[in-house]
Structure 1
Amino acid sequence: MPLGIDRTHFYAEKVKRQEKEIRAKDERVAQLETENAMLYLKLAQLHGTVQSVRQENSSLNEQVESEQQFRNGVSGTAIKLHRELETIRNDLRSLQSIAIDIPEQFQKYTTQANKVVQRHRQVFQSQNSSMTSLQSQVTNMELALQEITERHAKEKKRRQELHNILMELRGNIRVHCRIRPLMEFDCGNEDSGSLGKPGTRSEVVVHFVDDENVCCRTAKHNKVFEYERVFGPTESQNDIFEEVQPMLTSLLDGYNICIMAYGQTGSGKTHTMLGSHKNEDYNPSREPHRDEGVIPRAARELFRLISEKQSATHKIEVSVLEIYNNEIRDLLSNDPSIKHDINTSTDGTVSVPTLSSKQVDTVYDVMCLVQHGLRTRRESATMVHEHSSRSHLVVTLTVISQAPSFFSKTSSGSSQDLQRDIRGRSYSTSSAPNLGNLSNTWSGADQSQASTVPGMGAVIRTKLQLVDLAGSECVGMSGVKGAALREASNINKSLSALADVLGALAEHRSHVPYRNTRLTHLLQDSIGGDAKLLVLLCVSPAQRYITESLQCLGFGTRARQVQRGPTKRRLPSSAEKVDSSSVRPRSASTATGPSFIPKPT
């Protein structure tokens, strides 16, 4: 480099120019970086667009495939439908060919049917006259049958009424029989599924024949027993009481009544006499239970009859006793140590002077006393029956009635007036004596002749005895031991004595063994006296009880053979001079008032 040349200005310019180029290059770099960033952004957008396009392409492919499959399916269905259509067309062609032949066949069948109808019409017209004649004959026969049926019913009812009157005049004891349904305990040790099957011990051998006959049919026995009334297993408690109800009218007319249930253990005696009240307290606000027995129904009917009479002319007293091991126990007394003896008056009337009686005013009072007595009645379980009664139960309802006005006449009264009264004049008077002073407790209430009560004049006492006898039983079948064996022995002894009494009465023996047991002694004036006596035989139908059933039915047959003479009416003491033999009673079923008429001379 030559010395002396100034190059500073040259280098400064060059530096400025270089810096300017550098700045331009930097700006260019920044611009390129910006463009690069924009390109990257655009590239990302293009990637997104490509992805969406791919998805759309994939969905389009799927649609295309599904449309292809649909086209293939439609094509197959169309082919199938085409085949079916072709088959239908072929069938239609066949039907058309058949339809062408139908009118001809129809015409042919119609012609044949018309011929048959014409033939039958001719036959019907030929028989129409004879049919009319037969219809007229049938109508006449139906009218004749209806008339004969009505006449038969009237004659049957009249025969029953005449039979009842004849039996009452002869004095026979009325006997009814009730067959209970077959129960589960009749099977004994057998399976309950064999109930009633032939060849088993629970087979039915006692059969209901009709209203008056019962048949006992086994391989060894085939015997029919006849009674005044026979009740089948389906008859209700109300059906039983309908036959008892007329007797209660006679009670208010002055006749003693005794209703006695007899049968083996478990035959339904207690159910017949007491019903279902033992399992629930008697509630007077409730309707009468359909299973009520004779005792509550009789009490209700008795109060109903009294309500129709003149007020304050009747009172009722109740006594409840049991005969256990041949001893009398007063079930209404608080002192069980009292020994009760039976007194027999000169006219054969029986009474227990130490027996307590309670005055009652409603059915509820009666049943409360009966239930009180039942709580102390002797019962125990045996192999035959779970609640076997071990004593004889006697419920006595004594009716104390004001004597009719003509009974108060002395023997010096006019006999013409007495006969007029007997023939049916009303007994009621304008002023009835007050019974309010009558004592609530009477001793020996079942008097044969009524007494005179101070302040009220003569009264008549009649009694309704309702007896639920203990059941006869076979000791081997019942399985009793010890004290229960002694109880069974006394029960069977007293029932045997009862049968002996009936046998003696039926055979007209000079001596009747009433005093052999307390039971027969207590019932002396009912069995052999002048009370109206109804015996309800309760029988089990099962084969295993055949011996006891035959014994029970035989007892009823002997009872029917007893002839005791006409039933006598109770008289007050002030009328004892009236000859009771000069009157005879009417049937209890028709008695509604003074039920006696003068004996013709």
Structure 2
Amino acid sequence: MPLGIDRTHFYAEKVKRQEKDLRTKDERIAQLETENSMLYLKLAQLHGTVQTARQENASLNGQVESEQHFRSNVSETAFKLQRELETIKNDLRSVQSIAIDIPEQFEKYTSQATKVVQRHRQVFQSQSSSMTSLQSQVTSMELALQEITERHSKEKKRRQELHNILMELRGNIRVHCRIRPLMEFDCGNEDSGSLGKSGSRSEVVVHFVDDENVCCRTAKHNKVFEYERVFGPTESQNGVFDEVQPMLTSLLDGYNICIMAYGQTGSGKTHTMLGSHKNEDYNPSRDPHRDEGVIPRAARELFRLITEKQSGTHKVEVSVLEIYNNDIRDLLSNDPSIKHDINTSTDGSVSVPTLSSKQVDTVYDVMCLVQHGLRTRRESATMVHEHSSRSHLVVTLTVISQAPSFFSRTASGSSQDLQRDLRGRSVSTSSVPNLGSLSNTWSGAEQSAASTPGMGAVIRTKLQLVDLAGSECVGMSGVKGAALREASNINKSLSALADVLGALAEHRSHVPYRNTRLTHLLQDSIGGDAKLLVLLCVSPAQRYITESLQCLGFGTRARQVQRGPTKRRLPSSAEKVDSSSVRTRSVSTVTGPSFIPKPT
């Protein structure tokens, strides 16, 4: 380039031109990139469209295959339907043939039904003609039934009165004698092979003569004793109780009952009163045992009689005590240190206020309590008997009954009204809450009074079941120490019991009831107005001839006691029949084997 020429303007223009071209190229590049992006997006869309088309093609192929399968199924179904249609057509032809015969059969059945209706209509007409007479007969029968019911109620009351009169005619003190069979221990030190043989100590000298006589026959004695009932060695427990059972009816009629077993040790008193039960699973409420004694049988009979009465009118309480060494021990109490005293009320009745009692509802409850008491009863082995009872056991069942009559208060509002019971005796009643309606045999006035709250009275009667300790010869039993003292107290109390009977038989002015706790406790049963049954238990062996004669003589002395007529318990004006009238202490939970298998 020649020197001296200004080229600045030229370069500036060239730079501008280059910059412009560069911007144009950049814009073109951006435009091409945009177009490239659009092409990529369109390519992606085309790929998606191709994929969708492929899927649609696959589904179309599946539909084609399904349609072909469906067409084949339809053809098979159509073939089956055609066959069924032909079957239905055949059935329809048979139905049509049957339908042709239906009108004839319907006409036939209609005629038969018409004849039956006509026949029944005739029978109904003949029966309706006698309906009036039948209704009149039903009315007359209802009247007769009402009359018979009233007569039955009167006869039931009459039967109760006759029953009690019969029991009084038999004697307020009745004596039964039971001869037990020979046992192995009757031989003593002799060989058991000599059991019952003549000349041996186990020779039978007490003989059963008949139902009322027993004979004691030895070289020195040949005496016959007569009692109300005599049971031989083969007599069952049920046979013995059959003679006891009638007395229990009087218990709910308002009379006190006492049943006591008397005899020497080992003569069968406990077996007679309680029985022998070797099966520990025995339940007296379910299955009576053939060997159960008077106590469980009497409890069962008592609850049976109560079920025949109006519900809620009778409650039963049980107490169990023993008289050991002339002291009273409560066998249901957990505190043996309590001293128990005997109280005698103004009417001659005897009670032990500190004695605990439990309310019972079943014979099982009774025997659980008795069994609980037997576990703590004093026993010891002697040369005469392995399980000799060393105390007198007294089980008392107290029946709290609603009085059989209800009386209104006087107009003056006095708290007591002087009324009379069924026998015409004066009774005193007070305002007490009602326990519930009584027997349907009451009169309408009595029933109306029974339904009135705040009226009524209660009667307390007791059934005393006594298992006396056995008398024993100290020389024969071989007792020493504490057992000798026990034997002395036992013999003393039994001797006092004989003295009381002797005083009553001889009508002495003073009867020594308070000589021992036993005679004091049984004062109202022996000399009072209770019905007393003495069960003499006798051993037949020669070895016990002295004790047997003493026992039989005791029974003879008891039969000589003459008492006035038995008095019925009167309603108590001091006791209220409300929720607290009957002690609601629950029966103790007592478990264990049933009754001891040990005869006294």
Residue 486 of structure 1 deviates from its aligned partner by: 0.4
Matches of residues 534-553 of structure 1 in structure 2 within 5 Å? 534-553=533-552
Question: Structure 1, residues 232-251: CA drift from partner, whole Å, max 9, x if none?
Answer: 01110000100110111100
Residue 177 of structure 1 deviates from its aligned partner by: 0.3
Q: C-alpha distance in 2, partners of 1:132/1:444?
A: 33
8 Å contact from structure 1 (residues 246, 588) kept in 2: no
Question: After the TM superposition, which of the residue ranges 43-52 and 494-503 deviates more from structure 2?
Answer: 43-52
Question: After the TM superposition, which of the residue ranges 291-300 and 18-27 deviates more from structure 2?
Answer: 18-27
Q: C-alpha distance in 1, partners of 2:357/2:489?
A: 27
Aligned CA distance change for structure 1 residues 188 and 33 (closer, same or farther; 3 Å): farther
8 Å contact from structure 2 (residues 277, 596) kept in 1: no
Question: Structure 1, residues 26-53: CA drift from partner, whole Å, max 9, x if none?
Answer: 9999999999999999999999999999
Q: C-alpha distance in 1, partners of 2:438/2:381?
A: 43
Aligned to 1:186, what secondary structure does the other structure show? helix
Q: C-alpha distance in 1, partners of 2:9/2:371?
A: 156
Aligned CA distance change for structure 1 residues 430 and 80 (closer, same or farther; 3 Å): closer
Aligned CA distance change for structure 1 residues 258 and 78 (closer, same or farther; 3 Å): same
Question: After the TM superposition, which of the residue ranges 54-63 and 123-132 deviates more from structure 2?
Answer: 54-63
Residue 146 of structure 1 deviates from its aligned partner by: 41
Question: After the TM superposition, which of the residue ranges 95-104 and 548-557 deviates more from structure 2?
Answer: 95-104
Q: Percent of aligned positions with the same letter in both sequences? A: 93
Aligned to 1:544, what secondary structure does the other structure show? helix
Aligned CA distance change for structure 1 residues 379 and 46 (closer, same or farther; 3 Å): farther
Question: Structure 1, residues 305-348: CA drift from partner, whole Å, max 9, x if none?
Answer: 00010000000000000000000000000100000000011121
8 Å contact from structure 1 (residues 446, 462) kept in 2: no
> Which residue does the alignment assign to 1:304?
304
Q: C-alpha distance in 1, partners of 2:10/2:574?
A: 189
Q: C-alpha distance in 2, partners of 1:595/1:25?
A: 124
Q: C-alpha distance in 2, partners of 1:10/1:448?
A: 149
8 Å contact from structure 1 (residues 409, 575) kept in 2: no
Aligned to 1:583, what secondary structure does the other structure show? coil
Question: Structure 1, residues 563-588: CA drift from partner, whole Å, max 9, x if none?
Answer: 11100000013499999999999999
8 Å contact from structure 2 (residues 416, 428) kept in 1: no
Question: Structure 1, residues 126-156: CA drift from partner, whole Å, max 9, x if none?
Answer: 9999999999999999999999999999999
Aligned CA distance change for structure 1 residues 461 and 285 (closer, same or farther; 3 Å): closer
Aligned to 1:395, what secondary structure does the other structure show? strand
Q: C-alpha distance in 2, partners of 1:226/1:150?
A: 43
8 Å contact from structure 1 (residues 250, 591) kept in 2: no
Aligned CA distance change for structure 1 residues 5 and 457 (closer, same or farther; 3 Å): closer
Q: C-alpha distance in 2, partners of 1:3/1:581?
A: 151
Q: C-alpha distance in 2, partners of 1:524/1:111?
A: 92
Aligned CA distance change for structure 1 residues 327 and 449 (closer, same or farther; 3 Å): farther
Question: Structure 1, residues 175-230: CA drift from partner, whole Å, max 9, x if none?
Answer: 00000001111000111111110010000000000000000000000000000000
Aligned residues: CA RMSD:
19.5
Matched, 1:252 2:252: yes
8 Å contact from structure 2 (residues 266, 599) kept in 1: no
Aligned CA distance change for structure 1 residues 57 and 564 (closer, same or farther; 3 Å): same
Matched, 1:331 2:344: no
8 Å contact from structure 2 (residues 407, 419) kept in 1: no
The runs of 5 or more residues in structure 1 that have no matched partner are: none
Residue 490 of structure 1 deviates from its aligned partner by: 0.2
Question: After the TM superposition, which of the residue ranges 33-42 and 259-268 deviates more from structure 2?
Answer: 33-42
Residue 437 of structure 1 deviates from its aligned partner by: 16
Aligned to 1:396, what secondary structure does the other structure show? strand
Aligned to 1:582, what secondary structure does the other structure show? coil
Aligned to 2:208, what secondary structure does the other structure show? strand
Question: Structure 1, residues 374-398: CA drift from partner, whole Å, max 9, x if none?
Answer: 0000001111001100000000000
8 Å contact from structure 1 (residues 186, 544) kept in 2: yes
8 Å contact from structure 1 (residues 423, 598) kept in 2: no
Aligned CA distance change for structure 1 residues 70 and 152 (closer, same or farther; 3 Å): same
8 Å contact from structure 2 (residues 407, 456) kept in 1: no
8 Å contact from structure 1 (residues 399, 463) kept in 2: yes
Q: C-alpha distance in 1, partners of 2:450/2:216?
A: 45
Aligned to 1:126, what secondary structure does the other structure show? helix
Question: Structure 1, residues 480-512: CA drift from partner, whole Å, max 9, x if none?
Answer: 110000000000000000000000000000000
Aligned CA distance change for structure 1 residues 245 and 87 (closer, same or farther; 3 Å): same
> Which residue does the alignment assign to 2:503?
504
> Which residue does the alignment assign to 2:41?
41
Aligned CA distance change for structure 1 residues 84 and 153 (closer, same or farther; 3 Å): same
Q: C-alpha distance in 1, partners of 2:96/2:189?
A: 79
8 Å contact from structure 1 (residues 169, 565) kept in 2: no
8 Å contact from structure 1 (residues 254, 570) kept in 2: yes
8 Å contact from structure 2 (residues 167, 247) kept in 1: no
Aligned to 2:428, what secondary structure does the other structure show? coil
Aligned CA distance change for structure 1 residues 546 and 267 (closer, same or farther; 3 Å): same
Q: C-alpha distance in 1, partners of 2:253/2:470?
A: 33
Question: After the TM superposition, which of the residue ranges 5-14 and 207-216 deviates more from structure 2?
Answer: 5-14
Q: C-alpha distance in 1, partners of 2:6/2:595?
A: 191
Aligned CA distance change for structure 1 residues 263 and 91 (closer, same or farther; 3 Å): farther
Aligned CA distance change for structure 1 residues 137 and 314 (closer, same or farther; 3 Å): closer
Residue 101 of structure 1 deviates from its aligned partner by: 96
Question: Structure 1, residues 389-447: CA drift from partner, whole Å, max 9, x if none?
Answer: 00000000000000112467779999999999727999999999665999999999999
Q: C-alpha distance in 1, partners of 2:401/2:39?
A: 138
- TM-score scaled to structure 2, two decimals? 0.63
> Which residue does the alignment assign to 2:146?
146
Question: After the TM superposition, which of the residue ranges 518-527 and 137-146 deviates more from structure 2?
Answer: 137-146
Residue 458 of structure 1 deviates from its aligned partner by: 1.0
Question: Structure 1, residues 504-553: CA drift from partner, whole Å, max 9, x if none?
Answer: 00000000000000000000000000000000000000000000000000
Matches of residues 358-507 of structure 1 in structure 2 within 5 Å? 358-406=358-406, 422=422, 435=435, 457-507=456-506
Question: After the TM superposition, which of the residue ranges 199-208 and 28-37 deviates more from structure 2?
Answer: 28-37
8 Å contact from structure 2 (residues 358, 583) kept in 1: no
Residue 554 of structure 1 deviates from its aligned partner by: 0.2
Q: C-alpha distance in 2, partners of 1:34/1:583?
A: 112
8 Å contact from structure 1 (residues 257, 533) kept in 2: yes
Residue 168 of structure 1 deviates from its aligned partner by: 2.0
Residue 75 of structure 1 deviates from its aligned partner by: 105
Aligned CA distance change for structure 1 residues 283 and 456 (closer, same or farther; 3 Å): farther
Q: C-alpha distance in 2, partners of 1:468/1:238?
A: 18
8 Å contact from structure 2 (residues 342, 521) kept in 1: yes
Aligned CA distance change for structure 1 residues 7 and 43 (closer, same or farther; 3 Å): same
8 Å contact from structure 2 (residues 393, 468) kept in 1: yes
Q: C-alpha distance in 2, partners of 1:546/1:110?
A: 98
Question: After the TM superposition, which of the residue ranges 505-514 and 568-577 deviates more from structure 2?
Answer: 568-577
Aligned CA distance change for structure 1 residues 546 and 398 (closer, same or farther; 3 Å): same
> Which residue does the alignment assign to 1:592?
591
Aligned to 1:405, what secondary structure does the other structure show? coil
Aligned to 1:178, what secondary structure does the other structure show? strand
8 Å contact from structure 1 (residues 249, 591) kept in 2: no
Aligned to 2:591, what secondary structure does the other structure show? coil
Residue 283 of structure 1 deviates from its aligned partner by: 1.6
Question: After the TM superposition, which of the residue ranges 528-537 and 96-105 deviates more from structure 2?
Answer: 96-105
Question: After the TM superposition, which of the residue ranges 116-125 and 413-422 deviates more from structure 2?
Answer: 116-125
Aligned CA distance change for structure 1 residues 430 and 488 (closer, same or farther; 3 Å): closer
Question: Structure 1, residues 44-82: CA drift from partner, whole Å, max 9, x if none?
Answer: 999999999999999999999999999999999999999
Aligned CA distance change for structure 1 residues 589 and 390 (closer, same or farther; 3 Å): closer
8 Å contact from structure 2 (residues 369, 590) kept in 1: no
8 Å contact from structure 2 (residues 260, 534) kept in 1: yes
Q: C-alpha distance in 2, partners of 1:269/1:91?
A: 93
Aligned to 1:508, what secondary structure does the other structure show? coil
Aligned to 1:462, what secondary structure does the other structure show? strand
8 Å contact from structure 1 (residues 241, 294) kept in 2: yes
Q: C-alpha distance in 2, partners of 1:194/1:139?
A: 77
Q: C-alpha distance in 1, partners of 2:595/2:292?
A: 33
